[in-house]
Structure 1
């Protein structure tokens, strides 16, 4: 298949300049402050984005925010490379090997699709530390590999409760990007939270935009737009998406219809692509990918890296719900009580639909 890499150059000030580079050349890197005599050893950090890359205003941008914080707070040099849709694992391996071969000592694969490639490449570079964000099935292996896992179902439970409490039609919807076990966690938590908050709520059958190995459901806004129209026509007045860049289409369509949309991964109320309808973004299920990226690089830098799985959930604010806009202020007390009950173990949130 054609090999086109989307490379992102990030300036010292933290601003981003994205440029598309054909073929295999044109890889760019950037440096943080040199340390200027602070005695700290600089490390080189490589990050391979998931489909959509920096600028998707969702999952990848959360990872980018973590790297921006790394550049601001630590003494690092960075390089970023994006994936192509439907590429084979061999391409991901090549990308990771490229970074490792250039001396990057902390390398991050963003998205579960990197799991096999990270584990394989890490064996050949034992002195390099690797992180895979959203490790597939929350499993990694290797003494130099960390997997960041998130309890998406917990955060989704809270926005599901918000959806049910704010719905006026009594009908809500869920749109997933690609039908994978990971995205099913979002659906399962959302439905459970909605039904707990309002037992009589009608949750429309979940709509998944694509099936593996087609991953357009994470990047094509037109697919999100059409799915949202269908759920609006079925009476939903609150729709939650877990569809990455394709979710921009969901938000614009739902907001344009004057109904409530619920964002994902980032606080999407603040995203430029949906600014025209931000007053119809009820909340977002925030997934702190940025925190996992920063934690990993900091641990490599200070020598405290530990291999294995690191979990991010409601108990450590690894997932949460956004309050920007004030649209859930009237139900916040109830949502926070659900959060407390989940953290205490009183509420067990399912990770599979129908469980």
Structure 2
């Protein structure tokens, strides 16, 4: 089953060629595009892994504007795509309206909970992975000041910010965390110039490690950090390779696993939590950053990881009360 015409004006739908199947799955990327080197690209990697293993094919769609969400979901459902996986909290309200109209279609949404009998909601404990990143930042910082730059100012991204601050303060109680957000609209995910400007401002205030949780905007943060001679921390995908030796680590969210599992095994309705223990989140250490990882830093991360997975360390989830205990 394949489509050769676009689903929406201005939105390209690609039906990858491959083995014919009764129903092809579909993947909808959020704003910022599938090659954002972050969240969307991780989803793409999971779909590609499924293709390589099975020889199957899937439909994919890149959002161009907020107005296209409902029409995109309905058109895909009407083509028979099943399951339909979407990346990003912003699909939540639309999916809640659309899912009941297609009871035989399975939907999966990443980063939002939608309570419908044919929807799987995949959520991550970003605060746990960010806590480990905060531990590493505290070990690496010489100034005692680090920075956090978020994309859109929403509770979900405050989970990253708060977890990072908790880890940093646990290791360096007298340290300082500078916090900025790129904006309050979805455009905040795809503004690397603004990200770079915010990073330069934080560097001028003494930050020597900056964590970016901002989608495509984060590419500008990492670049400005490298240019400014300080360390950065990537997010969602492993971004260590973008500036080898200058990215301290990346807080990876296994969005790829969420997409791969949905394509391979179908959707089990309900909430699926991908936490540190389930390897849903973690910090990335590879050949690009291993020279930055001191034995003391590795030991501190290992201790914190064991504490979190064992229940001795409870990292606060900002979204439970819209508050952060260390700020």
> TM-score over 0.5 for the alignment?
yes
2:227 corresponds to 1:256: yes
2:187 corresponds to 1:216: yes
Q: Is the 2:82–2:106 Cα contact (8 Å) retained in structure 1?
A: yes
Partner of residue 17, structure 2 = 31
Q: Is the 1:106–1:129 Cα contact (8 Å) retained in structure 2?
A: yes
2:290 corresponds to 1:328: no
Structure 1 pair 21/248, CA: closer, same or farther in 2 (3 Å)?
farther
Deviation at 1:354, TM superposition (A): 2.7
Runs (5+) with no aligned partner, structure 2: none
Q: Is the 1:159–1:193 Cα contact (8 Å) retained in structure 2?
A: yes
Partner of residue 14, structure 1 = none
Q: In structure 2, how many angstroms separate the alpha carbons of the residues matched to 1:153 and 1:134?
A: 13
Moved segments of 4+, more than 4 Å: none
Deviation at 1:163, TM superposition (A): 0.2
Partner of residue 110, structure 2 = 133
Q: Is the 1:131–1:146 Cα contact (8 Å) retained in structure 2?
A: yes
Q: In structure 1, how many angstroms separate the alpha carbons of the residues matched to 2:215 and 2:70?
A: 23
Runs (5+) with no aligned partner, structure 1: 1-8, 10-19, 35-40
Q: In structure 2, how many angstroms separate the alpha carbons of the residues matched to 1:52 and 1:31?
A: 24
Q: Is the 1:323–1:329 Cα contact (8 Å) retained in structure 2?
A: no
The CA RMSD measured in Å over matched residues stands at: 1.8
Give the TM-score normalised by the residue count of structure 2: 0.91
**Deviation per residue, 1:6-54 (Å, 9 max, x gap):** xxx9xxxxxxxxxx998257532013345xxxxxx55301111011111
Q: In structure 2, how many angstroms separate the alpha carbons of the residues matched to 1:79 and 1:119?
A: 21
Partner of residue 245, structure 1 = 216
Q: Is the 2:200–2:228 Cα contact (8 Å) retained in structure 1?
A: no
Partner of residue 341, structure 1 = 307
| Residue 144 of structure 2, aligned match among 167, 170, 192 | 170
| Residue 315 of structure 1, aligned match among 265, 277, 280 | 277
Structure 1 pair 131/163, CA: closer, same or farther in 2 (3 Å)?
same
Structure 1 pair 22/279, CA: closer, same or farther in 2 (3 Å)?
farther
Q: In structure 2, how many angstroms separate the alpha carbons of the residues matched to 1:295 and 1:311?
A: 13
2:113 corresponds to 1:147: no
2:41 corresponds to 1:55: no
| Residue 229 of structure 1, aligned match among 176, 200, 203 | 200
Q: In structure 2, how many angstroms separate the alpha carbons of the residues matched to 1:133 and 1:74?
A: 23
Deviation at 1:241, TM superposition (A): 0.6
Q: How many residues align?
A: 313
Query: SS where residue 28 of structure 1 aligns?
Result: strand
Structure 1 pair 76/42, CA: closer, same or farther in 2 (3 Å)?
farther
